[in-house]
């Protein structure tokens, strides 16, 4: 009894977090799975529809590809930006991070709709092209895959940067200076010191951006065309038509695909680390 009480006291701070996890993630997920299988009686017709119609496989692959593109672009842009921010003096670093948080606090709907104004036929981009003589008539930027990609990157980029900054601030700047003293160029010092020490933060940021991009539906709905339909948009359409069972089956498909993609990424990460240790 005493031993059990001691173990409970050692872990009691975890119980509120576990309760929130059960109430707001595990229970809703199980309820969605139930809705996909019982409509109202037990049935597999929703999943049979997903398997037998190729359009849903196409939408799933498009969603995975767009999420991967967004995550890669956010990494290529956000990782160097995070390093620059992490090397700034404390006061300037706080101001830069505050500017990033301000954009994150703004509604995704507002940020997405702003791109409608920018990419419109009479928007900023077309006005600039016409003024510079680079185009003789307004170009079609709205309702394209490029517009969706740019807007999603802009929405998710602050998350990538903030997560990477959190990992990079833990790196001792003396290690970088030591590498420079030993003859490494700035690029070599960055690749051999900064990247290995911040790799976990980079992969965490990549995973977060990828997961969020998989579930996007507002930005593709506003800026994309019919060929840019993602799983999130498809689920929203089914909910709007009160087809709860099929919407739940699509949600299960989305969650399963996201988890499998993340598991594959983690497996590849482990394989790379194992090979690096073997060749070291």
Q: How far does CA 239 lie from the centroid of its chain?
A: 23
Q: Compute the average pLDDT of residues 161-185.
A: 85
**pLDDT for residue 103 is more than 80:** yes
Structure tokens at 111: 């940020």
pLDDT of residue 5: 65
* Cβ contact 248:45 at 8 Å: no
Q: Quote the mean pLDDT of the chain.
A: 87
Neighbour count for residue 242 (Cβ, 10 Å): 7
* Cβ contact 215:197 at 8 Å: no
Count Cβ neighbours within 10 Å for each residue of 107-128 and write b for 16 or more, e otherwise. ebeebbeebbebbeeebebbee
pLDDT of residue 46: 92
User: Does pTM surpass 0.85?
Assistant: yes
Sign of the dihedral through C-alpha 256, 24, 154, 265: negative
* Cβ contact 63:254 at 8 Å: yes
With tokens 């998710």, the residue in question is 156
**pLDDT for residue 258 is more than 80:** yes
pLDDT tens, position by position, 178-233: 888 888 888 888 888 888 888 888 888 999 999 999 998 889 988 988 778 899 99
pLDDT of residue 170: 82
pLDDT tens, position by position, 31-84: 999 999 998 888 999 999 999 999 999 999 999 999 999 999 999 999 999 999
pLDDT tens, position by position, 110-136: 898 889 888 888 888 888 888 888 887
- Local confidence band at 278 (pLDDT 50, 70, 90 cut-offs): low
* Cβ contact 126:135 at 8 Å: yes
Q: Which CATH architecture has domain 53-268?
A: Orthogonal Bundle (1.10)
Point out the least confidently predicted range of 7-16, 55-64, 102-111, 241-250: 7-16
């Amino acid at each position: 009894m005493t031993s059990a009480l001691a173990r409970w006291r050692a872990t009691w701070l975890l119980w509120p977090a576990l309760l929130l996890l059960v109430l707001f993630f595990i229970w809703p997920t199980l309820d969605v799975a139930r809705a996909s299988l019982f409509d109202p009686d037990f049935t597999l017709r929703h999943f049979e529809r997903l398997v037998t119609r190729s359009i849903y496989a196409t939408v799933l692959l498009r969603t995975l590809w767009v999420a991967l593109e967004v995550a890669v672009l956010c990494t290529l842009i956000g990782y160097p930006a995070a390093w620059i921010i992490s090397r700034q003096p404390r006061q300037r670093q706080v101001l830069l991070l505050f500017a990033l948080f301000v954009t994150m606090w703004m509604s995704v709907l507002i940020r997405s709709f702003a791109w409608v104004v920018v990419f419109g036929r009479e928007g900023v981009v077309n006005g600039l092209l016409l003024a510079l003589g680079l185009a003789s008539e307004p170009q079609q930027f709205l309702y394209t895959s490029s517009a969706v990609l740019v807007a999603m990157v802009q929405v998710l980029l602050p998350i990538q940067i903030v997560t990477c900054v959190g990992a990079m601030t833990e790196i001792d700047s003396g290690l970088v200076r030591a590498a420079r003293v030993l003859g490494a160029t700035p690029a070599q010092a960055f690749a051999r010191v900064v990247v290995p020490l911040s790799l976990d933060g980079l992969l965490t940021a990549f995973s977060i951006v990828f997961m969020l991009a998989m579930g996007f539906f507002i930005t593709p709905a506003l800026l994309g065309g019919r060929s840019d339909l993602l799983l999130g948009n498809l689920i929203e359409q089914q909910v709007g038509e009160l087809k709860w069972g099929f919407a739940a089956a699509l949600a299960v498909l989305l969650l399963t695909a996201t988890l499998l993609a993340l598991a594959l990424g983690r497996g590849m990460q482990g394989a790379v680390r194992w090979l690096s240790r073997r060749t070291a």
